[in-house]
Amino acid sequence: MKKLLITGFDPFGGESVNPSWEAVRRLDTQIGKYELTKLQIPTVFGEAFQSVQAAMRELQPDAVLCIGQAGGRSSITPEVVAINLREAAIADNAGNQPVNQPVVEGGPAAYFATLPVREIAGAVRQAGIPCALSYSAGTFVCNDVLYSLLHACRGTKTLAGFIHVPFLPEQAKEKAPSMPEETIVKALTIAVETLP
Ligand code: PCA
């Protein structure tokens, strides 16, 4: 089987759960062509990707898929692009709040995800789950991880990408959109089934 490293984040911003990790940890360990290795990563600039990179060195995965929470979104959103910018509206879990900093000094402005994002979005929608491509992963830790990952994988065969997921119902205050955990798990399962 091929090897997939799949990650979710720890809770941040005053939340007590993060739907990305809650869903990732419930995924089957074999899906489609892939054997999954699951990893929880910290919502901390720099450190998050350092843990991804350490796991990549050990596992030598064929694909890396990182999952994150996007509170306020109502759909599963595969990210098309990451930009070379750290600009935090809130502090990360280590108290860092960078403004107008690059992710990688001297790096290109942006990288496109190398996973088949359109196929993933089409397959998830086909199953009746709301899913739309996103053209901004923000400028917080999720974008930081995706940019760093794509930078590290440039010129290699390792497929890399990121999917944002909505809040869980228990997190959604004042009519914020949310999605049941089992639906998020199903969407991520379909995403992995879609990987070449
Ligand atoms: N979402 C944040 C960082 C961790 C997470 O789950 C983001 O969208 O940047």
For 62-108, what is each residue's pLDDT tens digit?
A: 999 999 999 999 999 999 999 999 999 999 999 999 999 999 999 99
Q: Does residue 137 sit in helix, strand or coil?
A: coil
- How many angstroms separate the alpha carbon of residue 9 from the centre of ligand 1? 7
Q: What is the pTM of this model?
A: 0.98
What mean pLDDT is predicted for residues 160-181?
Answer: 95
Specify the pLDDT at position 167. Answer: 97
Spot the catalytic one: 22, 131, 153, 164: 164
**Which residues on neighbouring strands pair with residue 6, listed in sequence order?**
38, 65
188 CA from centroid of ligand 1 (Å): 17
User: What is the CATH number for 42?
Assistant: 3.40.630.20
Identity of the residue numbered 116 = P
Q: Whose CA is nearest to atom 8 of ligand 1?
A: 142
Indicate if the pLDDT at residue 157 is higher than 90: yes
Confidence of residue 174 (pLDDT cuts 50, 70, 90): confident
Task: Summarize pLDDT for 17-26 with one digit per residue, the tens.
Answer: 999 999 999 9
Atom 2 of ligand 1: nearest residue by CA position: 142
* pLDDT-based confidence at residue 164 (cuts at 50, 70, 90): very high
CA distance 77 to 121: 8
Please determine, for residue 165, whether its predicted confidence score (pLDDT) is greater than 90. Answer: yes
Under a CB-based contact definition with an 8 Å cutoff, are residues 68 and 24 in contact?
no
The answer to whether 105 is a known catalytic residue is no
Q: How far is the CA of 53 from the centre of ligand 1 (A)?
A: 18
Per-residue model confidence (pLDDT) at position 173: 83
How distant, in Å, are the alpha carbons of 13, 84, 150, 151 from that of 45? Answer: 14, 13, 16, 15
Amino acid at 105: E
Average pLDDT score over the chain: 98
**Type of residue at 66:** C
The pick from 10, 49, 142, 167 for probing ligand 1's pocket by mutation, whose C-beta has the most ligand atoms within 8 angstroms, reads: 142
Angle between helices 181-194 and 117-126 (to 10 degrees): 130
For residues 164-174, average pLDDT: 94
Tens digit of pLDDT for each residue in 29-50?
999 999 999 999 999 999 999 9
- Domain span holding position 106: 2-194
Is a pLDDT exceeding 90 seen at residue 175? Answer: no
Ligand 1: lining residues by beta carbon, under 6 Å: 9, 12, 18, 20, 43, 68-70, 138, 140-142
Q: Rounded to 5 degrees, what angle do the CA atoms 19, 79, 89 make?
A: 65
Are the C-beta atoms of residues 51 and 101 closer than 8 Å to each other?
A: no
Distance 44 CA to ligand 1 centre (A): 9
Instruction: Answer yes or no: 131 catalytic.
Output: no
Q: Is 79 a catalytic residue?
A: yes
Distance CA 87, CA 103 (A): 10
- Number of domains, the chain: 1
